[in-house]
Amino acid sequence: MKKWMKMTGSILYVVIFTLMIASIIVVLSSRTTGGDPQIFGYQLKQVLSGSMEPEFSTGSLILVKEMTSPETLKKGDIITFQGKQDDKQSFVTHRIVGVKGEGTSKTFETKGDANMYQDGTPVKANEVAAKYEGIHIPYAGKLLSYAGTSAGTALLLIIPGVMLLVYSTIHFVGAAKNRKQVAEIQMSEEQA
């Protein structure tokens, strides 16, 4: 039983520590670049509309990989590209429904899964920023937006720190009780 508790405690410590480090990376990355967090060419993008439902919904975070060779893209792939939405430039993530041309002169016809019609302007290969990697975290985009605020930054750094402090305190109290029990056993053995 004690071995199981010790192993559970160690796993909990690693999980909390990993979450704390991940939170710090996400917060610092989004604060320093002013954009989406990026690690090793992978980026977390927030879904701002429901155009790709049911693949992923509004408020989700999706994992995309920076596109270095768009000529490898094919029909069915989901891409992020520079597009125009509500008369302003922004990144759009939609599915490729048609491919025209060859190599670097390829163009892609795109459409949001929930949209009735495909996008009006074909996407040129050099306009493709990233490719969706099939991983999304529902509602986590709202957390990322909050992390960009001063209060969110403080909260995302403080909560894991407090969790780590609580775990350390519990671990320290448990170790102190264990030492006390060992000392009591040794005293009773010496008296006998």
Alpha helices for the chain (secondary structure H): 2-33, 140-147, 150-191
- Whether residue 49 lies in the annotated active site: yes
Q: Decide the pairing of beta strands 38-39 and 88-100.
A: unpaired
Residue 104: how many CB atoms within 10 A of its CB? 11
Is residue 190's pLDDT more than 80? Answer: no
SS3 of residue 175 by DSSP: helix
Region 37-140: CATH code:
2.10.109.10
Q: Which pTM was predicted? A: 0.60
* pLDDT computed for residue 4 by the predictor: 75
Q: Is the pLDDT of residue 112 over 70?
A: yes
What is the distance, to the nearest Å, from the Cα of residue 8 to the centroid of all Cα atoms in its chain?
25
pLDDT band at 51 (very low <50, low <70, confident <90, very high): confident
- DSSP symbols for 120-136: SSPEEGGGEEEEEEEEE
Lowest mean pLDDT among 34-48, 89-103, 125-139: 34-48
Q: Which amino acid is at 27?
A: V
**Domain residue ranges of the chain, discontinuous segments joined by +:** 1-35+149-185, 37-140
DSSP 117: S
- The active-site residue, picked from 29, 49, 57, 145, is 49
User: Is 141:47 a contact under the CB 8 Å cutoff?
Assistant: yes
Written as one letter, the residue type at 138 is P
Q: What is the largest CA-CA distance in the chain?
A: 92
Average pLDDT over residues 151-161: 74
